[in-house]
Structure 1
Amino acid sequence: MRTQSGYGPLLTGPDLTSAGTVIQLAYRKVIDVHSTAIWERDLFADTYSEFCMQAQFYDQSGELATFDELVKAFPRAEKLHGLVSTVAIGYLRKLGQTIPDLVNLAGKPWIPFEQFGFEIIGSHRQKRGEHRVAITFYSKEMLWLASYHDRLLVAPVDQLGLFLAGEKIQPDSVTMNASVFIHTLQNIAYDRDETTIPDLLS
């Protein structure tokens, strides 16, 4: 079995000698009362306060205590996802556009994200401990080089030309789990007889 130093046995992966496989990863992170990182605890507290404040617009009496009850009674309360997300933006900016928790073999977070989605999983206006939100981070496009065990070997998409030309590139890895998934996938055909390489960045 072919091996690469530092990465272990390689399993099935796309064949980039004839085609380029470009993927975008997504990571769904749940934040609740049990979250431990400082930025997570602060985001939890601020999104809960914002939820309670915005919920008054739909129900000033407070009789509808949960997020689900609000949405059932007032379908327009689905807008709370977007309204509450505004207080999360500042915390996400502090991440330096790097997806948290997804680390390489050196234990370093390195995958850049360019978009995110925010969702209120559940909340209760009188029970802070029931507040739960999810943030889905969407990575920039990357080249998928190979798979080994539970990890993907990937590289920046702008290195495709170098890779197909036989030049050295600098790949890295990411561990796949139930919270990490391939959001988009695109195969880019490549003809060896052609002298140009598809411009993936256009």
Structure 2
Amino acid sequence: MKKFCIFIILTLVLNFSIYILGYYFINYPMRFNLQEMIVECGIGYLLIFMGFITLISWLISVIEIKQLDSKTKFLRAFLTLNVLLFLFLLYTSVNQFVQTKKEINKLENESIKQAKTDIKNNQVSIKYVGGFEIPLYDKKTNQKIDSIRKKYGVTYENTGCIIDAKFILVNEKYNNIIRAYLDKRNGKGWQQRMEKEVENFEKTAKK
């Protein structure tokens, strides 16, 4: 009886652990933050499910089985159902994680291919998440700023309000390749020089 209780406690700990970690696996590549995961994983759903397991275990315990008392039947049923729940949560979480990794690898390969194509076609752009932007200058001034950047072989592309972690990860892969190319093309410190030119032009444009 004591062993049953130890196994049950261990299984309950494993179930709660894999449920919380499963939230991370399903939402990978989200930032790993245990406190945030506990708050957002919806632990209440697991508690409801545990309630059903308890109810089913009690119903099983009232069934007549030779040489087994109600308590033993309940503990055995409760342990078995929790082990099955653990295996289900483990399979679901790992399967989702593997699928997400495959998707990210595919997107990264496409991103690398796109970066190489853009470099070959001299259509390099650094993508960033900027949300909705209000133009600071008129069309002619913005065109001049773009021409300064194009002199360094780059444009900047606002992708909008996308906050998807997979997009950010894949986009960074693209930008890293582009930055390495631009460093080779323009020399180290090119971005500071470019921004200085843009800044000087903006000062004259405001006068």
Is TM (by shorter chain) over 0.5? no
Whichever of the two has the greater Rg, that structure is: 2
Higher helix share: 2
Of structures 1 and 2, the one scoring higher in RCO (CA 8 A, sep 6+) is: 1
TM-score (norm 2): 0.25
TM-score (norm 1): 0.26
Higher strand share: 1
